[in-house]
Amino acid sequence: MDDKKIKVRVRLIIIKNDKILLSFVKDENFYFFIGGKMEFGETLLQACLREVAEECNGAKFNFTKIIYVRDYIKPEKNEHSLELYVLGDIDKFEELEGLKDPEFGDNHWQTWVDLGKLEGLDIRPKKLVKQILEDSKVNFSGETKYLGEID
């Protein structure tokens, strides 16, 4: 049986008050964009709504647009994903700070990070930070960008 499958993941870009919502991984000391795998039979919008509700204590997500598409291919880890980075808004703010992700217990939590401090942190994928900072200056206007295979 061949277990090689391509997964589709949603990654959410949520910016409020000049801060971006990220998930922090304590044991490896890095940040990533909230989201996760789409489930079979689920639309892109449904996946975004579900992931935000799961990771942000029932918060409601407002979909704006897809801003980036990224390939994540690591054959040595039997991993191949297509990631859709979705810009949107959320109906919670302060109450999300330090909120633990129930799937990972004390090792993952949500945090708001000042846009001005992003470049000094280990945020994955690393090469996306400059793109986000650049695009945020023009309110993410323009077309969806294909990022290819970036780390």
Residue 1 pLDDT level (bands cut at 50, 70, 90): very low
In tens, the pLDDT along 27-69 reads: 999 999 999 999 999 999 999 999 999 999 999 999 999 999 9
Domain boundaries, the chain: 7-148
Q: Which of 51, 16, 7, 47 is nearest to 33 (CA)?
A: 51
Query: DSSP state, 142?
Result: S
Distance CA 114, CA 15 (A): 9
Distance CA 2, CA 12 (A): 30
The CA-atom distances, in angstroms, between 94 and each of 13, 112, 122 are 17, 9, 23
In tens, the pLDDT along 73-125 reads: 998 989 999 999 999 999 999 999 999 987 887 899 999 999 999 999 999 99
Query: 15 - beta bridge partners?
Result: 20
Handedness of CA 150, 84, 38, 49 (dihedral sign): positive
The CATH number, out of the four listed (3.30.530.20, 3.90.79.10, 3.90.1150.10, 2.60.200.30), of the domain defined by the range 7-148: 3.90.79.10
Residue 2 confidence (pLDDT): 56
Q: Are strands 30-32 and 19-25 parallel, antiparallel or unpaired?
A: antiparallel
Distance CA 43, CA 37 (A): 12
Distance CA 56, CA 50 (A): 10
